[in-house]
Structures are given as structure tokens and as C-alpha cells.
Amino acid sequence: MIIGIDASRAARAHRTGTETYSLELIKALARLSSSNLRFRLYSPHPPQHTDWPDSPYLETRVIPWPRLWTHLRLAMELWQHPPDALFVPAHVLPLYCPVPSLVTVHDLGYVHYPQAHRSFDRWYLNRTTRRHTRVAQHIIADSQATKDDLVNFYQADPERITVVYLGRDESLTPVADPAIINQTKAQYNIEGNYLLYLGTLHPRKNLARLIEAFHLALASLPPENDALKLVIAGRKGWLYDEIFAKALVLGIENRVIFPGYVANESKPALLSGALAYVFPSLYEGFGLPVLEAMACGTPVLTSNVSSLPEVAGEAALLVNPRQTTEIAQGLTQLITNANLRRRLVEKGFQQIQGFSWDKAAAQILKILEY
């Protein structure tokens, strides 16, 4: 059996969530390859990674094309040299697809928060997702929340949708050396104890409300927390001016730190050094940062909406992300209750065991072979 995979996103040099998803799944699927199960990877450009999978049963076909690569060049390749099935982990199906197809839909954030997307992007995502529900032989959803959205918004057949949870970065482990943590904190101008948000800065992450909740929590904290900081780290996304302005308006600009982009090699130490990881997002298709924090032994506060309860299980403090006072109460609990933090850390280590790329690949392979 030959399974074709659209590896155009996985081959990119710079990775966001979908690129990482595609690459990690391809690596895990390559570990399952054999003389009877071969994978053919399609990309418009050579892979840009040193960790690109290598297997005698895996072939990378670089097929350059200047425009509309998916709908023209990939479609032509599938017609000329058809595999037994096509898997699209992080992109769209070609308009002409002569073989059975499996496609992943990561989330429907553009439906829930249209104001966070450009009008063309909303139109494009709506059209492609609707088409996937009609023409793909099967669909992978990152969470039950995303599957429910596909059924509710597009009347997709639930029998043709399988929930496959993402894996986690198993190289992420707690950093126990205080010297490494202090060195990392100094690199990002962080002093003392801190709560940490790490991710992209944009409205859906609910960061302005998080700052308001932090301001409320500060009023009720005992004196030993007078130096506590809220660190909001990550790349600027869009509509982030309100986030920066909120701390100034509330007069706590000396308690809220914006260190900007954090390099991957700094993440474990920054997470391990935090008093808690705070992620009150309004909507997530999966919520991988929650697992990353748990893997580093950091207690987590997150939202009780979308996919986040699925990912967090009983290993996080769940709050209503639209209730500022409830977020503030959750922050106060985590800051002042060391026993609660210890329990969440222990449960977090148990929770992350259920998420692996090998497990995800095995589930997807079962669907492809069927």
C-alpha cells in the first residue's frame, strides 16, 4: 500500500502549530512504514529540517510549481502517479483528487471569532472546510469540540469524522537546575515569582481580560506576593495594542512583563520557573500549550470552553474565560495554595501520558488502511 501525504507545510523552515503537527505525524507514520506500507511525501520545495524522517519505505517527491501548487501540480501528480490514498494533515484537498482522501480539520475559530480573521481568509476557510465535509472520505478532528462544530455548522456526517488528539513534545521535561532557570529569567528581564502566558498575542487568547483579572487578584494577595509578576510572552499576532494598553490603564505596567518571542530552547526553563501557567483562551481547537506546561511540571489554569477541558482533564484549574472575577479567583487560588499547585502538577504528569504522536499516527493509519 502506498499512502501519499501533502507535506508542503511540514517541509517549511519556520513552523507554527500546523507545520509542527504535519511534521510530527509524518515522522511517527514513517516509524510504522514497512515493505507493505510505503509513504510518498509531496512538497513544492525541499524539506528545510535536519530531522526530516528517513526510511527505506518513505519517498519525498519535490514537485515545484509557482502558483496554485495544490490544485494544479499536486492534482497532476496524483493523476499521473496515483497512491492508494491521500492524507492532508495541514492544508486543503486539491480540487481534483482521484484517490480516497483523509484530511485534518484543526478548528473552526473563524466561525466562533470571525473578527479575528481577514474577510478573504474567512471566505476561504469556510469554502474549503465545507468542501472537505462533502468530498473527503474521512475527516480527522483534533478534538471532540471540533468534531461537534463540523456537525453543527456544516451538517457533516459524524460517522465520517474521527477525533485524534495531537501528540506532545516528549523532549519537554522539568528544568530542576535553579541556575538555568535564573539565567533564562535574566535573559527575558524577569525577576522574582511570576505567572506565565506563553503563546501568540491576539484577541482570542483573552489576554486583556487576563491582565484585568491579575489586577483584581493583586488586591487580595498577602504582602509576600508584592513582587509577583504576570509575564505575557510570545510573538505579536494582531489587534494586540489593547493588550499592551491594558496594563498602563490599570496602573500595573511594572507588574506585567512583555518579553516578546521566546526561543524554543528557552521554553522548558521559563515554564519550569513559573508559579503557574495561565491560558484563559476563548477558543482552541486543541490547546497544546496546556500539555507543554504540564510536561514541565507547571500547574495550569485554563478555560472551561472548546477543547480545553478535553486536553486538561482534571489536571488543571478550569475557569469561565468570560468572567474576569472567576479568572481572578482562580489566579488567587493558585498563587496562595501550594497544596493545590502540587496536586495539579502530579495530575498533569499523569494527564500527558495519554498524548503521543505514535498513538496519533497509529489511529490515523488504521483509518487509512480501512
235-263 tens-digit pLDDT? 877 777 888 889 999 999 999 999 998 98
Beta bridge partners of 85: 3
> CA–CA distance from 300 to each of 204, 290, 293, 338, 348 (Å)?
18, 7, 7, 13, 8
Q: Residue 13: what are its φ and ψ, rounded to 5°?
A: -70, -45
- Cα–Cα distance between 280 and 300 in angstroms, integer? 10
On the CB side of 13, CA atoms within 13 Å amount to: 3
- Contacts of residue 48, Cβ cutoff 8 Å, sequence gap at least 6: 11, 12, 13
What is the tens place of the pLDDT at every residue in 328-352? 999 999 999 999 999 999 999 999 9
Would you call 276 helix, strand, or coil by DSSP?
Answer: strand
- Cα–Cα distance between 205 and 306 in angstroms, integer? 13
- Please provide the size of the chain in residues: 370
Where are the chain's structural domains?
Answer: 2-167+356-369, 178-354
Bigger pLDDT: 112 vs 230: 230
Model confidence at 13, in pLDDT bands (50, 70, 90)?
Answer: confident
- Cα–Cα distance between 105 and 92 in angstroms, integer? 9
Query: Mean pLDDT over all residues of the chain?
Result: 93
242-253 b/e with 16+ CB inside 10 Å = b?
A: ebbebbeebebe
pLDDT value of residue 343: 98
Q: In the chain, how many H helices and how many E strands?
A: 14, 13
pLDDT at 108 over 90: yes
pLDDT at 200 over 90: no
Q: Residue 184: what are its φ and ψ, rounded to 5°?
A: -70, -40
pLDDT at 204 over 90: no
pLDDT value of residue 131: 94
| CB neighbours of residue 235 within 10 Å | 13
* Mean pLDDT on 19-36: 93
Q: Residue 318: what are its φ and ψ, rounded to 5°?
A: -100, 135
Beta bridge partners of 38: 2
What is the tens place of the pLDDT at every residue in 46-74? 998 788 998 999 999 999 999 999 999 99
CB 277 within 8 A of CB 196: yes
| CATH code assigned to 2-167+356-369 | 3.40.50.2000
In the chain, % of residues over pLDDT 90 = 81
pLDDT at 14 over 80: no
pLDDT value of residue 117: 74
Model confidence at 18, in pLDDT bands (50, 70, 90)?
Answer: confident
pLDDT value of residue 266: 94
pLDDT at 37 over 80: yes
Q: Residue 89: what are its φ and ψ, rounded to 5°?
A: -85, -20
pTM assigned to the model: 0.90
Task: DSSP letter for 59, please.
Answer: E
pLDDT value of residue 244: 84
The set of cell numbers assigned to 335 is 498563587
pLDDT value of residue 306: 94
Beta bridge partners of 300: 277
pLDDT value of residue 114: 86
The H-or-E segment that residue 338 falls in is: helix 338-351
pLDDT at 353 over 90: yes
- Cα–Cα distance between 15 and 48 in angstroms, integer? 10
The set of cell numbers assigned to 152 is 453543527
On the CB side of 367, CA atoms within 13 Å amount to: 25
CB 90 within 8 A of CB 104: yes
* Mean pLDDT on 92-111: 94
pLDDT at 153 over 80: yes
pLDDT value of residue 370: 76
Bigger pLDDT: 115 vs 284: 284
In the chain, % of residues over pLDDT 70 = 100
Answer whether 2-167+356-369 and 178-354 agree in fold: yes
Beta bridge partners of 219: none
pLDDT value of residue 326: 98
271-287 b/e with 16+ CB inside 10 Å = b?
A: bbbbbbbbbbbbbbbbb
| CB neighbours of residue 177 within 10 Å | 11
On the CB side of 205, CA atoms within 13 Å amount to: 24
pLDDT value of residue 116: 72
- Cα–Cα distance between 114 and 122 in angstroms, integer? 7
Class of domain 178-354: alpha beta
Which residue stretches of the chain are H helix? 17-30, 75-80, 109-112, 119-135, 144-154, 178-187, 207-218, 241-250, 267-273, 288-295, 308-312, 324-336, 338-351, 357-369
From 7-11, 12-16, 121-125, 312-316, the region with the lowest mean pLDDT = 12-16
* Mean pLDDT on 143-160: 96
* Mean pLDDT on 200-209: 90
